[in-house]
Structure 1
């Protein structure tokens, strides 16, 4: 019976509304008091039944909820034969719950719209070349799938045939088309806007990047922020206090109607719902624009960040460097290039990729042993050869001889802002390479935006040489720029800032900077869609764009402010209602419940404003073009 009543709660609400309208017509139009009381009494009993069930289940777990207060108030009104107020109060409570459910459903629309982007069926290409449409659950790893223009990619995988332009907005928040061809990675939930491709499946369903994004966003929306936890504790004591206050007032005044009215006016409904709706809506907005806020707890911390620390390569710069200078010193050029290619071929560092793109494919050398020197380079052994590949500091550590001419050239490259990669064989310098990287598009404007939003200090900590770091910092509104920093040095520096009382966010690529991401109050990964970035950080910028950083910071500030607004609205309404009960003769149970339900709708609508948030603050051209660093 309980299950039937709860399942039919919306229908009960509609029926009660009809009974109330007919009952009021019977009383005020036809002056038939008996019929009016019967209809309003029946409406009260029907409407209070689901409320009583919810209140009963709350008491079973030793919680005095809002349902308990309303149940006691309605039953009390029935006892004193105040059928009109009993019916209207219970109906308004059910109506408020219905509207709350509907509007809250809308706040999750960003995530729900993402879920619909994953197709339920896929076209599999069989070994004989024929195609077959199957359920997505029947697709396995290594299956070849056909995706045509207008179709959604159903799995994570790589292109094995064809080419096409894909819309990756579901992953990155950026609707700009990305051209994909042989061996390029593609993700579930993206759309082939033009072209036809065949994909070899790597992961399906919840294991895809898109599946992980949806799971993370849903977990974040369901998590409780510090404000919500406080409100839960507050309600735990506040609601019994209201019940006790009503009992005491009833005993002292012998006015049951007054005691019942206090129960209704003291309901903290808007307070309970106001903060969660801000969190859910804000996190959903972020997901829609390629920003993953991993949990409600970090929102308040991020909004209070006053210092942001940046890695350089792949964060402030594009992360697609190119070789600007190359000199092969040794005589056996082919052998030297083979060693260089073989070592860099095993690395995923952006500088290694730049070198490989420049020298092209070379003969592979098998090494007897390879040692990675963290933050400096690699030492490899092949027979009687000891190959040292890395930065200038690594050359010094292994006593590599560098003559005056080469040292002068290296210094000039550093002064011009180039990253230096050197290779020595048996302590003899054989290769000198200078690599340049470009600043990200509009990075200066977005750093100024962060300053405008209240961030006081912007810092670069880079493993690159100081000259290169200085050249980057000179072009940006950076306060401190430090080069030659190992991963552990960065983490230690962040700890030092925290000891001084600063709230620190660290922005890195999520691969080489895990210690810093973990140490900072907020770890932010320029994700590029990598699993490592998603796992190690508090915030993931899926498009790896600097404008997403200023957007994410502005969004968390808006969410935090929105929570505070909803708390003020909720507490203000309760205070005004209770004061009105003391100083105004017109206040009664029905008006109190109506105001409460309106306040619930107000805080929900206020929270839903976050769905429309855009970071639209305009900085004038003088600010962008003339703001200089202060190191």
Structure 2
């Protein structure tokens, strides 16, 4: 399709042609008042009774151009109105169509042209604005890589990115886009992950780290094992999610849709009754025009698309309009400790020996051997420390019994090993703890997580690990409060002393410790019973029940996680905690814009209706004011596209022209 064909099929061609015809009509009408009137005008005399030659209506060439302007601008409107009516929908297009056709019948060609011309401009503005508000999606499509360099038969081959096969080695050089999701098998480099996480500062990557399609190398040379291609990449999933989210309706929008199904027929009935009572057809047609809820209809979806698009550009995926609207009401946030308030990379800090016959490495060896079959997040830390000390476990335990909220019991070479808290010792009848409870209490008071180790009923020591508090955790809590969240609650399975230490350092309002998954669910439910709209932030595994019952489930660090992207109500693509208050603030801004737009739309309609009955508001003037309100609503929603303070966007290097349709990015 060439440029001319694109222009013809574009949204601005119809109002432009119609506008030119209107200008020509005005020019001819001006000339018609001169001495050239009879040479430029064709006259048809309409018999009005006895004096046909003296009482006549003149249909001039100027009127012909004005009628043509109305037809050019109005034919698509009429077709759209008829199609909607066949689907039993009485929409805005039908109102405008009836008004324009009525104006033509009574010979008011200027009103017909003005109404259809202005309405077509409104359509073009809406289309252009929707394209603008979907710019985040366009930017995501634009960062999708076109080509990839792969190793095949020992040689470097440049191929289209969509042809890369799973398991192939992809080479990423300085300045190149990463074409696949994958794991680095060799090399080091700095990767700009702004397209995925919204963070513009490059991240250092080395062997075993993961990279994502659409990110950009800022230095170094990487060999990447392809683990996600085509529609299976994180970028493709994000694009798919943003597409769905921008089309999803908020509760307010759904209500407005239901309202308009009754409002529009109501306007038609009002116009008919007005015409019958007053006998003024022009007044009835004018009511049809100014009663169009155009600004009202567009007020909600344009704000939703802009808000979700703005969030996506900042690495925040919001599932849809309903969740955006709910997020604006969040008054309580429940957060897990490990991996949310802390870095999620605990380190072994202490090994307390309580059996004189053993040394530090022996206690660590028994602890690691027991944890070898555990799924507990701290198990990996203890095992890695044991390997570093040269006493790492060989093989796996014979049997591992998890005791929720207390610890685990393992069979290691025929010996029963317990590792957990004092409650676990009591459950298994161990009353002589050799001072383990006191040692555990002292370690917990220092913000460490202690685990008592017992072998065949004999306590041998205590191991402790600590997870560093994230630097931005205190600021996150402060910003949540500033965003209108009244209560920030920590829900953790860790001990109360450890939880209190973390809570004090971060400014958490309320702490619930030693919690099982069902306890977290009950805590969220209690917050809801107290009247809070609750957001739950967790890892989606132990926190799954609480995430499910919360009003908004938030996944942290969702980049690369298909499950998190698809299931979370809000997915924060990076590990930046400050994205959480940012998402709530953006949701509040969006809902405020929605409310403002509704007020603007309703006030405009009320004033116009009053103006019509009071006199002075014509059909064309009413439509002009109506389209002006549409423009105001659009401009108001566009404010959401401005970047909020502290938010991040795609880096300039990634704002390249889109060279492929979304379907191609998705592997379709």
1:64·1:239 contact (CA, 8 Å) conserved in 2? yes
| 1:433-472 mapped onto 2 (5 Å cutoff) | 433-472=463-502
Deviation at 1:595, TM superposition (A): 1.4
Inter-CA distance 414–12: structure 2 relative to 1 (3 Å threshold): closer
Candidates 38, 41, 55, aligned match of 2:81: 55
- Counterpart of 2:332? 307
- Counterpart of 1:319? 344
- Counterpart of 2:66? 40
2: distance between equivalents of 1:518 and 1:407? 36
Deviation at 1:542, TM superposition (A): 1.8
Deviation at 1:192, TM superposition (A): 1.0
2: distance between equivalents of 1:437 and 1:142? 35
* Worse-superposed segment, 538-547 or 100-109: 538-547
Deviation at 1:501, TM superposition (A): 2.1
Deviation at 1:415, TM superposition (A): 1.4
- Counterpart of 1:267? 292
The secondary structure found in structure 2 opposite 1:248 is helix
Deviation at 1:294, TM superposition (A): 1.3
2:556 pairs with 1:526: yes
2: distance between equivalents of 1:29 and 1:540? 65
| 1:472-621 mapped onto 2 (5 Å cutoff) | 472-529=502-559, 530-585=561-616, 587-615=617-645
- Counterpart of 1:70? 96
* Worse-superposed segment, 226-235 or 357-366: 357-366
- Counterpart of 1:16? 18
Deviation at 1:321, TM superposition (A): 2.0
- In structure 1, stretches of 5+ residues that fail to align are 618-631
| 1:80-479 mapped onto 2 (5 Å cutoff) | 80-126=106-152, 128-327=153-352, 329=355, 331=358, 337=364, 340-341=367-368, 344=371, 349-360=376-387, 362-400=392-430, 402-479=432-509
2: distance between equivalents of 1:481 and 1:268? 49
Query: TM-score, length-normalised on structure 1?
Result: 0.92
Deviation at 1:439, TM superposition (A): 1.9
1:527·1:534 contact (CA, 8 Å) conserved in 2? no
The secondary structure found in structure 2 opposite 1:475 is helix
The secondary structure found in structure 1 opposite 2:400 is strand
2: distance between equivalents of 1:171 and 1:394? 43
1:168·1:191 contact (CA, 8 Å) conserved in 2? yes
Q: For residues 227-255 of structure 1, give each alpha carbon's deviation from its aligned partner in whole angstroms, at most 9, with x where no partner exists.
A: 00000000000001111111111111111
2: distance between equivalents of 1:348 and 1:384? 21
Deviation at 1:422, TM superposition (A): 3.1
Deviation at 1:12, TM superposition (A): 3.1
Inter-CA distance 465–186: structure 2 relative to 1 (3 Å threshold): same
Inter-CA distance 378–208: structure 2 relative to 1 (3 Å threshold): farther
Inter-CA distance 93–157: structure 2 relative to 1 (3 Å threshold): same
Q: For residues 169-194 of structure 1, give each alpha carbon's deviation from its aligned partner in whole angstroms, at most 9, with x where no partner exists.
A: 12211122211111111111211111
Inter-CA distance 543–393: structure 2 relative to 1 (3 Å threshold): farther
Inter-CA distance 73–424: structure 2 relative to 1 (3 Å threshold): same
2: distance between equivalents of 1:524 and 1:407? 36
* Worse-superposed segment, 354-363 or 607-616: 354-363
1:9·1:50 contact (CA, 8 Å) conserved in 2? no
Inter-CA distance 344–446: structure 2 relative to 1 (3 Å threshold): same
* Worse-superposed segment, 519-528 or 15-24: 519-528
The secondary structure found in structure 1 opposite 2:286 is helix
Inter-CA distance 411–8: structure 2 relative to 1 (3 Å threshold): closer
* Worse-superposed segment, 204-213 or 347-356: 347-356
Aligned residues: 612
Q: For residues 208-228 of structure 1, give each alpha carbon's deviation from its aligned partner in whole angstroms, at most 9, with x where no partner exists.
A: 222212211211111000000
2: distance between equivalents of 1:250 and 1:435? 82
Inter-CA distance 528–402: structure 2 relative to 1 (3 Å threshold): farther
Inter-CA distance 425–70: structure 2 relative to 1 (3 Å threshold): same
Deviation at 1:386, TM superposition (A): 2.4
Deviation at 1:356, TM superposition (A): 3.7
Deviation at 1:295, TM superposition (A): 1.4
- In structure 2, stretches of 5+ residues that fail to align are 1-5, 42-59, 648-668
Q: For residues 250-276 of structure 1, give each alpha carbon's deviation from its aligned partner in whole angstroms, at most 9, with x where no partner exists.
A: 111111111110000000001111111
- Counterpart of 1:620? none
Structure with greater Cα Rg = 2
1: distance between equivalents of 2:406 and 2:247? 43
Deviation at 1:94, TM superposition (A): 1.0
1: distance between equivalents of 2:568 and 2:10? 44
Deviation at 1:335, TM superposition (A): 7.1
Deviation at 1:536, TM superposition (A): 4.2
The secondary structure found in structure 2 opposite 1:546 is coil
